[in-house]
Amino acid sequence: MLDPSIDSLMKKLDSKYTLVSVASKRAREMQNKHDQQIVKPKSHKFVGKALEEIEAGLLTFESGEEE
């Protein structure tokens, strides 16, 4: 079972595509820079840590679209 759950993550971002995009970019950044914002992550993998950061509200996404 995924922790954090998809349902709780979808409350933070607008679509699954955005979720995947933000998490993958942050995971790559963590891998290259060896940094993380969560003090004691549950996950040992970079993508899991990125998802935990999204759940904690440490990562956000701003759309480039103007209405």
Q: What is the pLDDT of residue 29?
A: 92
Q: What is the pLDDT of residue 32?
A: 93
pLDDT at residue 28 greater than cutoff 90:
yes
What gap in Å lies between CA 26 and CA 19, rounded to an integer? Answer: 11
Helix spans in the chain (H) = 6-10, 16-33, 46-55
Question: Cβ(43)–Cβ(52) under 8 Å?
Answer: yes
pTM comes to 0.80
- Phi, psi torsion values for 37, nearest 5 degrees: -95, -20
Domain segments of the chain: what residues? 6-55
Q: Which residue has the higher pLDDT, 19 or 61?
A: 19
